[in-house]
Structure 1
Amino acid sequence: MEEEEPMRSFVFLMTYMLLKRRRDLNNANTQRRNEIQRRIRHRQYFFQRQRRMLMMMIAGGIHSNVRIRTRPWTTTQSTDWWERVVMTEFQPSDWLDKFRMSRETFFYLCDKLRPRLARQDTSFRLALPVEKRVAVALWRLASNIEYRTISTLFGVGKSTVCRCVRDMCHAIVALLSSIYLRPPSEQELEDSAQLFLSSWGFPHCVATIATLHTAIITPSNNASDYANPAGWLSVLSQVAVSGRGQFWDVCASFPGGTDPADIFQNSSLWATAAEGGLSPAPPPIFMGKPLRYVLLGEACHPLQSWLMKAYPEEKGRRTSHTALTEPQRLFNRRLTRALRVSEEALLRLRARWQCLSKRNDCGLDVVPTMILACCILHNICESHGDAFKAEWQVESAEAESPQPSHKQLPSTSIDQIYAEEVRHLFCDYFEQNN
């Protein structure tokens, strides 16, 4: 027993030393792997930084091609440009030129979208601030320049630019539609009717119906359906414009070859107007009779008691239309003048957000949401009183294809019989007040 005791102690000591040696080797291997990974991340960081600096040097030539105004700070590094120049040195005119809205409206928009756009930092990277995400998306909507240029300018990846645009458009539609793109209240209906009468000389009207074609790239399926009457591919949208030049209702995502009358008759706006939802109860009095407020449409729309359109013009001896009377011609002139509300609103929309005036290279799953978001942004800027620059409209007119006209298309729908009596009331009104 006495001889076994030293042997047991020796075996225990050797076992302990072997286990300790194995643990030390494992720790050393772990530290070595961590150091290798740290060096790899360090090299990747500097490689990406050098690549971004190189892209910033190349970006100077790209910006000159997309007609971005040259400034002394266009050659600064991306992060410095955003953090120092935009956030601290931008003047009011810079905010309008680059983001199409005032600084106050920009931060108002950021606060409204924060619940959907805010992201958490991870152990690998810092999340982009909401303000920078909104700025990236607005730059794209306002200029329609390619993702690569915006990526270089803001120091983010192309995929990040694409994600910012998608996320912001969806967030605007989800969070702000109920505020800036909703059915009007009774007071708003009365205000719009007063504006149409005082500014455009058309009484008892609350909105006009118009169409917007947005040029797109060739879709993979059913490309012929997207060819509009002018011959180019587009997505067709229907808008209802109030007397203030703001959008009350927007239906997007239809192929450019769709009949506008079909879109209108299958829209929620048609159902609301037909049921009297765009007029107070009881109806207001017009020419001594109770009459609901009316909308104004184009020649392709069906005539209804609540939807007025122009009398068909006589175009030669072979036409089946009779010559118009002077009251009917006067009605057509007044209606054409009132339809300028929607024409001017769409001109301002396309000029402010040039992704709608130039060919949009986004997928068809994004374009409709982008159109809705731009209409909401238009209403926000108009309601906040942000300035509109005439030079934007000049740039838009130079870049876009002419909008196809639906005014000369005959209506394929059945006109309402009682509607002709209502149109005669308006003729009598204009004759009396001419």
Structure 2
Amino acid sequence: MDQSFLIMLSNLLHLQNHLDPTTSLLSDSTTTTSATPSSLLTSTSAAPLLFFTIASVLSYISTTRNKPQSSPPPSPTTTSQYSVSAFRALSTERIWAMEAPLRDAQWRSLYGLSYPVFTTVVEKLKPYIAQSNLSLPSDYAVAMVLSRLSLGLSAKTVAKRYSLEPYLVSKITNMVTRLLSTKLYPEFIKIPAGRRRLHETTNSFAEITSLPNICGAIDNTHVRIHKLPPNLPNPNLYMNAYGFRSVQLQVVADHKKIFWDVCVKAPGGVDDATHFRDSLLYNRLISGDIVWEKVVNVKGHPVRPYIVGDWCYPLLSFLLTPFSWNRMGNPAQNAFDEGLMKGRKVVEEAIGLLKGRWSILQDMNVGLNHAPQTIVACCVLHNLCQIAREPEPEVWNEPEESGAVPRVLESEKSHYYFGESLRQVLADDIYQRLSLR
């Protein structure tokens, strides 16, 4: 009870004594013995009732005014929801009490993948995270990074949610994405060199395209950079043809939309052919370091496995491109182009799934130095999801492809002529087969 209320109550008591003197006798020890109950009843006016009524009202007001305001119900985005204890309760106590579809749907909404795939990632990264002496549990740290990658959150937003400092969130993000892009890359992003996988891939592409021995489809995509460093030399190199700053991601996908090669080397202003020629894959293919054993005979022409790309890539013996971008060739050439573009659609959809699953690739909000490893980490996670046959999210729509046909380098001429001859043989063959149907 505050001081102002006590003063008010004291003044009210004096007023009561003034209005009804008999009430004061109740507090006088010399006169209470001579006052009989009947005299007290008959001499008491309405003033005491008024006094106690007003006092009660004032007491209620005072109590209500001084009572601390009850806190509103916690928001769904309060930090307690993302604490270690809340995560532990969800992952160890509640998770097994839930039906598997509901459990995995909830996990995907939080971390971009189902609970079993999440535990696979944690188990593979746990030994490396343990070596870093991180003060947070390994599964909690991985969950935090996955939520950032899948929801596209900034370090500041994640820090606020998890009651951590932004620099610590960035540090953990860099650590986890580095481990994904280095330690898990060799296991989940591999060229289909084994006989079984190579045959499965080429046979599946043949069903899709009616073209023999395709082992992959290549494409390039731009990953928007949220912010460039202030003192970056030549920042205009990152401005792409679509009008925004980006870095480039080159991928080769198989028929299951699984990437078997990933390269992040070029700023957005570089064309697709230059990025490809700067990649390790190009150097291995043109030097003959990669040799696929499967060879098929088409009209007396030996055809080794090859990849397909659009007109922005150079025509080579191991990379076939369309005759024209607008189907202006002869019937055989148009039949080949149609089949090739069906194969290319696989990699387009794979990129759309990649950006649909990991929203951070729609607007990269990490430092430029850490952008490549973050992009590659998302590609590793994409493969994990595809291998586990995770439900495919809504596909991210890419801008329409544009670019000129690249010139042939002097060092590529022999590969170009061989590719030109091979492409015509395949065009004649597919047109002949389709005509007989």
TM range (shorter): 0.7 to 0.9
- 1:151 and 1:161 in contact (8 A); partners too: yes
Deviations 1:264-311 (A, max 9, x none): 123221132234555433733233322211111121211112211111
- 1:92 and 1:102 in contact (8 A); partners too: yes
The structure 2 residue matched to 1:218, chosen from 213, 228, 232, is: 228
**Match status 1:78 vs 2:90:** no
Q: For residues 259 and 120 of structure 1, what CA distance do their matches in structure 2 show?
A: 39
Q: What is the CA-CA distance between 1:248 and the residue it aligns to?
A: 1.0
Question: Which residue is equivalent to 1:26?
Answer: none
Identify the range of structure 1 (131-140 vs 331-340) with the bigger mean alpha-carbon deviation.
331-340
Unaligned runs of 5+ in 1: 1-55, 64-72, 316-322
- 2:314 and 2:405 in contact (8 A); partners too: no
Unaligned runs of 5+ in 2: 1-70, 96-102
Question: Which residue is equivalent to 2:130?
Answer: 118
**Distance 1:83-1:215 versus aligned 2 partners, 3 A rule:** same
Query: In percent, how many aligned pairs have the same letter?
Result: 24
Deviations 1:209-240 (A, max 9, x none): 10011000234322100011111100012111
SS of alignment partner, residue 355 of structure 1:
helix
Question: Which residue is equivalent to 2:399?
Answer: 403
Q: What is the CA-CA distance between 1:134 and the residue it aligns to?
A: 0.3
Q: For residues 376 and 181 of structure 1, what CA distance do their matches in structure 2 show?
A: 7
Amino acid aligned to 1:210: D
Q: What is the CA-CA distance between 1:83 and the residue it aligns to?
A: 2.2
**Distance 1:76-1:181 versus aligned 2 partners, 3 A rule:** closer
Q: For residues 374 and 305 of structure 2, what CA distance do their matches in structure 1 show?
A: 31
Question: Which residue is equivalent to 2:361?
Answer: 356
Question: Which residue is equivalent to 1:234?
Answer: 246
**Match status 1:339 vs 2:344:** yes
- 1:82 and 1:154 in contact (8 A); partners too: no
- 2:353 and 2:393 in contact (8 A); partners too: no
Query: Map of 1:21-60 to 2, 5 A cutoff?
Result: 60=75
Question: Which residue is equivalent to 2:201?
Answer: 192
Question: Which residue is equivalent to 1:157?
Answer: 165
Question: Which residue is equivalent to 1:376?
Answer: 380
Q: What is the CA-CA distance between 1:57 and the residue it aligns to?
A: 8.5
Amino acid aligned to 1:160: L
- 1:119 and 1:127 in contact (8 A); partners too: no
Q: For residues 419 and 349 of structure 1, what CA distance do their matches in structure 2 show?
A: 31
Deviations 1:357-409 (A, max 9, x none): 2x21211111000011111111111112222233xx3xx55xxxx43624x42
Identify the range of structure 1 (236-245 vs 154-163) with the bigger mean alpha-carbon deviation.
154-163
SS of alignment partner, residue 366 of structure 1:
helix
Question: Which residue is equivalent to 2:421?
Answer: 421
Question: Which residue is equivalent to 1:365?
Answer: 369
- 1:150 and 1:161 in contact (8 A); partners too: yes
Amino acid aligned to 2:203: Q
Give the TM-score of the pair, scaled to structure 1: 0.74
Amino acid aligned to 2:83: S
Q: What is the CA-CA distance between 1:203 and the residue it aligns to?
A: 2.0
SS of alignment partner, residue 266 of structure 2:
strand
Q: For residues 191 and 240 of structure 1, what CA distance do their matches in structure 2 show?
A: 16
Q: For residues 58 and 250 of structure 1, what CA distance do their matches in structure 2 show?
A: 47
Q: What is the CA-CA distance between 1:60 and the residue it aligns to?
A: 4.1
SS of alignment partner, residue 273 of structure 2:
helix
**Distance 1:266-1:152 versus aligned 2 partners, 3 A rule:** closer
Question: Which residue is equivalent to 1:4?
Answer: none
Question: Which residue is equivalent to 1:13?
Answer: none
Deviations 1:68-117 (A, max 9, x none): xxxxx986473442222344335221111111211111111111111211
- 1:261 and 1:413 in contact (8 A); partners too: no
Q: For residues 105 and 294 of structure 1, what CA distance do their matches in structure 2 show?
A: 32
Q: For residues 350 and 228 of structure 1, what CA distance do their matches in structure 2 show?
A: 18
- 1:247 and 1:379 in contact (8 A); partners too: yes
- 2:314 and 2:406 in contact (8 A); partners too: yes
- 1:300 and 1:411 in contact (8 A); partners too: yes
What is the RMSD of the two structures over their aligned residues, measured on CA atoms? 2.6
Question: Which residue is equivalent to 1:103?
Answer: 115
Amino acid aligned to 1:350: K
SS of alignment partner, residue 249 of structure 1:
strand
Q: What is the CA-CA distance between 1:178 and the residue it aligns to?
A: 1.4
Q: For residues 188 and 326 of structure 2, what CA distance do their matches in structure 1 show?
A: 41
Give the greater-gyration-radius structure (CA). 2
Amino acid aligned to 2:273: A
Give the TM-score of the pair, scaled to structure 2: 0.73
Amino acid aligned to 2:404: L
Amino acid aligned to 2:269: G
SS of alignment partner, residue 365 of structure 2:
coil
SS of alignment partner, residue 261 of structure 2:
strand
Question: Which residue is equivalent to 2:316?
Answer: 304
Q: For residues 287 and 114 of structure 1, what CA distance do their matches in structure 2 show?
A: 54
**Match status 1:180 vs 2:191:** no
Amino acid aligned to 2:129: L
In the alignment of these two chains, the number of paired residues is 348
